[in-house]
Amino acid sequence: MGRLEGKNSIITGAAGGIGLETSILFAQNGANVLMSDINAVQLDKAVAKVKQFAPNSKVEGFVCDVSKEDQVEEMVKKTDAWGGLDVIFNNAGIMHAKDDDAVNTPEAIWDLTQNINVKGVWFGCKHAVLAFRRHNKKKASVINTASVVALVGSATPQLAYTASKGAVLALTRELAIVHAREGFRFNNLCPAPLNTPLLQDWLGDDKAKRHRREVHFPTGRFGEAIEQAHMVVFLASDDASFVTGQEMIVDGGMTKAYVTPE
Ligand code: NAD
């Protein structure tokens, strides 16, 4: 038996990075997975990859822009025919190259970032709650991807992104309290900088930019998406039945470090 046997699950931002690794682990642990992403081409490839790693699992793709409520509603309703949603991982997010400090961040980038990173998570939570109630679920799990930048300040600013992840932390915590008696758990995943395209494409070959970040890791390396996925499996599973409203920090000790080893 897998740890998520028979759990009907949605993963947003499933075409890459954390979302794809989590989809694979979910499927291998017996979950039925609706993989969702805005990028249809990448999503098709990702669904094929998950089927390759978990050939006996039920896995489907669904193209959805999480900043559009009608699309999120349709995505969640897709799992009605499966017996109702049990788990949603609201993971889709962007970090825009033009995101900067208070002076230089363009307003359009601020709005775009909040629309996807905050409103998208809210829509996912809203329609998940409606689905849990529709199917009379007595236990369900929502995991929202925030970031360590919601917890510690950074001298390499991405103000819109940081503000958006702080909002995810706060709204998740509140929903955990509001819905606790219904059996719906809400937790945050706070990843440190990772080896995923979101960050690595942006760092490119710039060694100085890379070193500026790597030096803060006690472990001396960026994290891997799979290391986040293991935490998400735990939070989704009944093993985490008394874990709600938490910030689960998967960062190799980064946010606890002062001087790191040479
Ligand atoms: P990624 O870029 O590999 O994956 C993000 C996915 O979200 C992509 O497949 C993209 O197509 C999708 N997406 C973007 N806009 C969307 C929209 N409007 N609707 C639906 N899907 C959309 O990045 P990742 O590193 O796997 O990031 C996943 C989450 O983790 C994000 O919320 C990100 O902010 C967060 N995070 C990442 C890091 C890191 O270093 N990679 C660190 C902390 C937090």
Tens-place pLDDT, residues 69-105: 999 999 999 999 999 999 999 999 999 999 999 999 9
Confidence of residue 25 (pLDDT cuts 50, 70, 90): very high
Residue 193 alpha carbon, nearest atom of ligand 1 = 40
Mean pLDDT of 223-241: 98
Mutation pick for ligand 1 pocket among 10, 12, 18 (CB with most ligand atoms within 8 Å):
18
Residues with CB under 6 A from ligand 1: 12-13, 15-19, 37-39, 42, 64-67, 91-95, 116, 145, 147, 191, 193-194, 196-199, 225
Amino acid at 105: T
Cα 17 to averaged position of ligand 1 atoms, centre (Å): 7
Catalytic residue among 161, 184, 186, 222: 161
Q: Which CATH architecture has domain 8-253?
A: 3-Layer(aba) Sandwich (3.40)
Residue identifier of the C-alpha nearest atom 44 of ligand 1: 147
Mean pLDDT of 176-192: 98
Could you read off the pLDDT of 106-119 as tens digits, one per residue? Answer: 999 999 999 999 99
Cβ neighbours of 201 (radius 10 Å): 9
Confidence of residue 228 (pLDDT cuts 50, 70, 90): very high
Structure pTM?
0.97
Q: In three state form, how does the secondary structure of the chain look?
A: CCCCCCCEEEEECCCCHHHHHHHHHHHHCCCEEEEEECCHHHHHHHHHHHHHHCCCCCEEEEECCCCCHHHHHHHHHHHHHHCCCCEEEECCCCCCCCCCCCCCCCHHHHHHHHHHHHHHHHHHHHHHHHHHHHCCCCCEEEEEECCHHHCCCCCCCCHHHHHHHHHHHHHHHHHHHHCHHHCEEEEEEEECCECCHHHHHHHCCCHHHHHHHHCCCCCCCCECHHHHHHHHHHHHCHHHCCCCCCEEEECCCHHHCCCCCC
Residue 65 alpha carbon, nearest atom of ligand 1 = 19
Bridge partners (DSSP) of residue 191 are 250
Q: Would you call 161 a catalytic residue per the annotation? A: yes
Burial class of residue 116, CB neighbours in 10 A (0-12, 13-18, 19+): buried
**To the nearest whole percent, how much of the chain has pLDDT over 90?**
91
Does the model's ipTM exceed the 0.95 cut?
Answer: yes
